[in-house]
Amino acid sequence: MTRWPRSYPLAALIALLAILPIGVLFDLAASEAQFFDAHNLRVLTNTLLLMVFTVLGSVLIGVPLAFVTAYVQFPMRRLWLVILAAPLAIPSYIGAFTIYAAFGRGGEIHNLLGIPLPAMDGLLGASLVMILYSYPFVMLTTRASLLSLDASLVNAARTLGMSLGMSLLKVVLPRVATGIAAGGLLVALYTLSDFGTPAIMRLDTFTRVIFVEYNAFGLSQAAMLSLQLLAIVGLVLFLESRVRGSREKPGRHLTLWPNGWQRWVIGVAVSPVILLAVVLPLAIFAVWLAREGSAGFDLSYAWNSVHASFLAAVCAVVLAIPVAHAAIAGRAGRIMERVTYFGFGVPGIVMGTALVYVGLKLPFLYQTLGLLVLCYVLRFLPLAVSSVRSTAEGLDSSLVKAARVLGASPREAFQRVTLPLTLRGMIAGAALVFLEAMRELPATLMLGPTGFETLATYLWRVYEAGYFGRAAIPGLLLVLMSALGLALMLSGERRAELEVSGK
């Protein structure tokens, strides 16, 4: 019975493809790169400081918000959750762009309201933007852990005479520590790989410096820096793999009913976050739209974005099926799956650097849409894999057994039971890949064929050229697209909740 599952060879091949960029980078960096110098040390310090500040800030904002959204009953809580999670949907470079343009002497707020505010740039500006756009990771992971807890423990603590605050602190918080840690590590990864924010805030982190080197034809040096960045990413990923909390048996979760003034306090405490992260960008874009209209914008940018992202989504799901199958089939398959997850940790700028080099070595790929799509697929394959795998795993295993004992071969059982039941996961996975690819900036800048302008790259050109007002239409379109993605993710969460309560 020790036959290998049929998906293994294919999954192994895909896993191999996923680690291809690393091999390329080593090859590239080996030629003539400086290993480490003083400038490099500054870059490392900036990167780590930005990461630490962002993680701390995200935990400080995300954890209280998780408690509020999970436990506190107030009108329209679903809507509040969506609004509080919305920053996740807005690409951080859009936030960075608008905050950079709004603050400071001569910024939009100064122009419109006459209030001179200090400039937002450097480490401070980058940290602020990264916190505003990544705290939802902590909020959502913590919230998920909170919702999985049985309220009876808190109720027990309170009937034993402990105050609500203390019971939340002593009984609940320790049990969601892993949820918080998981969210914090996601934030760290997100910060490490973010290119747009430090670039716009002019903070020399790895991603920004790699892009500078690439533009100065220092591809080898870019590769060396990429490997250093990857080493940090690898460390964070390692930590993440250690964070696996024990799962508790889900029960009825806690509900708190605040009175009038408590609601006010919560509302006032939450508003700055929403104002800065959601209202400000939309307001700035609205101002620009009113001022400049659609000057310079061409519909083909949107079409290019959709075209490339759609191809990536389809390819990613097709490749995800054998990987997901292998991951369920056995241990070796799970390792292959972990390997493909690697791409998600590889920052876009690093993947871009590696694939630019691949393009230089393989001329038939150079400057083609195919190479860009390959980059998207390698980066976002994990989204498709996890989405396909989780629906396939959620599949009651006795269903396949039932099909088999009714006389269906493994193939027929797959076609008639597994496939129809996992189709939803595949579509969700494709949608996630599509939306992520739409927002992707650095790799698109590096790999897009000449003259191939997407929404994201157009936004970047506008920033570089200083025609800020023209960012309104692409910016709003990107926000709209991302909002659709968020709606999709939240509807998935809602389904999960329904399934739990249904039992």
Closer of 110 and 404 to other proteins (Cβ): 404
Span interacting with other proteins, options 101-109, 201-209, 225-233, 415-423, rule CB under 8 A:
415-423
Among 229, 385, 403, 443, binds other proteins (CB under 8 A): 403
How many angstroms separate the CA atoms of 307 and 302, rounded? 9
How many angstroms separate the CA atoms of 486 and 100, rounded? 25
CB of 253 to other proteins, least distance (A): 24
256 lies in the binding site for other proteins (CB under 8 A): no
CB of 408 to other proteins, least distance (A): 6
420 lies in the binding site for other proteins (CB under 8 A): yes
Q: Which of 68, 77, 247, 72 is nearest to 150 (CA)?
A: 247
499 lies in the binding site for other proteins (CB under 8 A): no
Closer of 336 and 388 to other proteins (Cβ): 388
Span interacting with other proteins, options 114-122, 167-175, 200-208, 401-409, rule CB under 8 A:
401-409
Closer of 221 and 391 to other proteins (Cβ): 391
Q: How many CB atoms lie within 10 A of CB 456?
A: 26
Span interacting with other proteins, options 37-45, 274-282, 391-399, 473-481, rule CB under 8 A:
391-399
CB of 422 to other proteins, least distance (A): 10
CB burial readout 416-443, b (16+ within 10 A) else e:
ebbeebbeebbebbbbbbbbbbbbbbbb
Single-letter amino acid, residue 268: V
Query: In sequence order, what are the residues at sequence separation of 6 or more whose Cβ sits closer than 8 angstroms to the Cβ of residue 54?
Result: 127, 130, 131, 134, 187, 188, 191
How many angstroms separate the CA atoms of 47 and 39, rounded? 12
Span interacting with other proteins, options 145-153, 301-309, 343-351, 407-415, rule CB under 8 A:
407-415
Span interacting with other proteins, options 52-60, 102-110, 236-244, 410-418, rule CB under 8 A:
410-418
How many angstroms separate the CA atoms of 438 and 211, rounded? 20
CB of 424 to other proteins, least distance (A): 10
How many angstroms separate the CA atoms of 29 and 220, rounded? 5
Question: What residues form DSSP beta bridges with 256?
Answer: 72
Among 32, 248, 298, 396, binds other proteins (CB under 8 A): 396
Span interacting with other proteins, options 252-260, 342-350, 392-400, 469-477, rule CB under 8 A:
392-400
Question: What residues form DSSP beta bridges with 72?
Answer: 256
> Per-residue x/- marks for other proteins, 350-369, CB under 8 A?
--------------------
CB of 419 to other proteins, least distance (A): 10
How many angstroms separate the CA atoms of 24 and 353, rounded? 9
409 lies in the binding site for other proteins (CB under 8 A): yes
Q: Is 213 exposed, middle or buried (0-12, 13-18, 19+ CB in 10 A)?
A: buried
Closer of 299 and 406 to other proteins (Cβ): 406
Closer of 118 and 410 to other proteins (Cβ): 410
Q: Distance between alpha carbon 174 and the CA centroid of its chain, in Å?
A: 26
